Structure 1
Amino acid sequence: MTGASVSNPRVKGQAGFVLHHRPYSESSLLVDIFSRGHGRLAVIAKGARARKSRVRGTLRPFALITLGWSGKGEVKTLTQCESTGPGLNLSRRGLFCGYYLNELLLKFLHRFDAHETLFDHYYDCLLQLADGVDHEIALRVFEKKLLDETGYGLQLERDQKNGAAIQSERLYRYLSGVGAVPSDADGNEGVSIHGASLIALRTEMGFDGRVRRELKSLNRAIFRVLLEGRAFTSRAVYSRLYPAQSESNAPVGHSTEGAA
């Protein structure tokens, strides 16, 4: 898929989202997009910074758009950018969570690797954030699906030491790259977590207070290993937008409180 996407000189009519953009030359933007059919890629939006640009207001996060591009290199040239409707109206916390989702995709996805199912999960999660669905549950479920779709899926059904089914009342230690083992097994590595929390994540049901705390700790540890300690910057973004609330709503890897 990667080679075909890189060499394809012209693509049009692709559903996609803007993940991030930054200035490129005096009048253009370099845009990271997540397209349904071609995955994550970078495009140059020529003239997008100009005051009269027709795409200036369209290239924004959390709005489903129709995209096209051309070029044979790693960085494409944007040739189509059409709105499919109004962008999603995210609340303060929802906006912060949306930026966190975008950062996850930027960190985990390789360019030109199509992830159509993950694209649908991402869109669904944004809709939930906009509709006021419990943000914390929406994020935990999306994180699980992201790991599944990128080859790092969590082992949530069986004890990896003896093959027994996970028991809700039992305490385990979750080892990154391995799975859950009984808490009394040799060694003390991993994240302490009850079976009920693993079952809740697998079934996407039963997210009580303890489950939420344990799953946040689990995901923080998993991401720290997979990303080799690279920090998320979404907390800094939220701090600039809402400094009075930034401490209580920090992203995974920064605080034990808040949805993300």
Structure 2
Amino acid sequence: MATRRFSEEPAFVLHRYDWSESSLVLEVFTRHHGRIALVAKGVKRPTSQFRPVLLPLQPLHLSWGGDAEVRTLKSAQWQGGHVMPTGEALLSGCYLNELLMRLLARDDPHAALYDHYTLAVQLLAERADAQQLILRAFELLLLRDIGLLPDLAHEGNTLAALQDGVFYVLGPESGLRVAHGDDAHALSGEQWCSLQIALDEADPLIATLRACVGCQQALQPQLRNLLHYHSGVRVFKTRQLMLDVQAMGRPRASPEAASTNFQTTP
């Protein structure tokens, strides 16, 4: 039986670890094949053509072959289109990579999610003042696309439509429920419905980013609970590193200012 080969597949490197003294195993997110593992033979040698190319948060075209769980990388080319995020935006991009590593099964294609990720990485590089909005929007789309986000326009237990003027909180098992007096991070029915409408738009990342304006602080801990619950971890390593960097007192622009007339670069 001939070995299967795939050529010029759009992909991003999510993670890499040692395979041998000269080789690495790469966890990559591809558009048509989902998350897969590739061995890059000889990539740690100074003369390897792969060394300057196989970087995270860079759009690539990859070719590989093999039928085993870990395939063999044949070629890698930088696709171009945007520069790598830097500084705090680089940490945000690594956080997106950790989410994909923990929540995506191997060989499970998510073409639409790949496109959302591509745009999110581009926006992180271009709009440092909108990082938190970009992260919240991508978290929602990730949970929605892998089937872990409940309907945001209806209560989870009763399936009743959300009511204007009533506040709700999102739980990892029951979905949305009416907020109690001790729920510190509730959102109104109007806000949850706006998020659901945005997720259903033709360009959902930008629409959801805009819908997050004004509610991103209350949304963050609720999405974090869902992500921790479904990934089985108490804290993401990259998020803890982000918090440590922010605790050093680095100033940031407000999310509201960042989202004013928010447009992507042509």
What TM-score results when the alignment is normalised by the length of structure 2? 0.79
Query: What is the one-letter code of the residue matched to 1:182?
Result: V
1:213-257: CA deviation from partner (whole Å, max 9, x where unpaired): 210011011112112234311145558xxx6545679xxxxxxxx
Do the aligned partners of residues 183 and 245 (structure 1) sit closer, same or farther apart at CA in structure 2, a change above 3 Å counting? closer
Which residue of 192, 202, 206 maps to 1:198? 192
| CA displacement at 1:159 relative to structure 2 | 2.4
Which residue of 156, 162, 173 maps to 1:160? 156
RMSD between aligned alpha carbons?
A: 2.8
Write the distance in 1 (CA, Å) between the matches of 2:50 and 2:158. 57
Q: Is structure 2 residue 221 aligned with structure 1 residue 226?
A: no
Query: What is the one-letter code of the residue matched to 1:48?
Result: V
Q: Kindly indicate whether the alpha-carbon contact (under 8 Å) linking 2:14 and 2:29 is maintained by their aligned counterparts in 1.
A: yes
1:53-82: CA deviation from partner (whole Å, max 9, x where unpaired): 111010001111110111111001101111
1:3-30: CA deviation from partner (whole Å, max 9, x where unpaired): xxxx962111111000011222111111
Q: Kindly indicate whether the alpha-carbon contact (under 8 Å) linking 2:179 and 2:186 is maintained by their aligned counterparts in 1.
A: yes
Range 152-161 or range 105-114, more displaced? 152-161
Q: Once the two structures are aligned, what percentage of the paired residues are identical?
A: 30
Whose relative contact order is higher, 1 or 2, with alpha carbons under 8 Å and at least 6 apart? 2
Write the distance in 1 (CA, Å) between the matches of 2:119 and 2:13. 16
Do the aligned partners of residues 224 and 236 (structure 1) sit closer, same or farther apart at CA in structure 2, a change above 3 Å counting? closer
Structure 1, unpaired ranges of 5+: 1-6, 250-260
What is the aligned partner in structure 2 of residue 33 from structure 1?
28
Write the distance in 2 (CA, Å) between the matches of 1:83 and 1:145. 26
What is the aligned partner in structure 1 of residue 255 from structure 2?
none
What is the aligned partner in structure 1 of residue 264 from structure 2?
none
What is the aligned partner in structure 1 of residue 103 from structure 2?
108
What is the aligned partner in structure 2 of residue 213 from structure 1?
217
Which residue of 140, 144, 149 maps to 2:140? 144
Q: Kindly indicate whether the alpha-carbon contact (under 8 Å) linking 2:155 and 2:175 is maintained by their aligned counterparts in 1.
A: yes
| CA displacement at 1:196 relative to structure 2 | 4.1
Write the distance in 2 (CA, Å) between the matches of 1:8 and 1:116. 24
1:111-155: CA deviation from partner (whole Å, max 9, x where unpaired): 111111110010011111112061111111111111111111232
Structure 2, unpaired ranges of 5+: 199-207, 251-266
Query: What is the one-letter code of the residue matched to 2:178?
Result: P
Which residues in structure 2 correspond to 1:71-82 (within 5 Å)?
71-82=66-77
Work out the number of aligned pairs and report it: 238
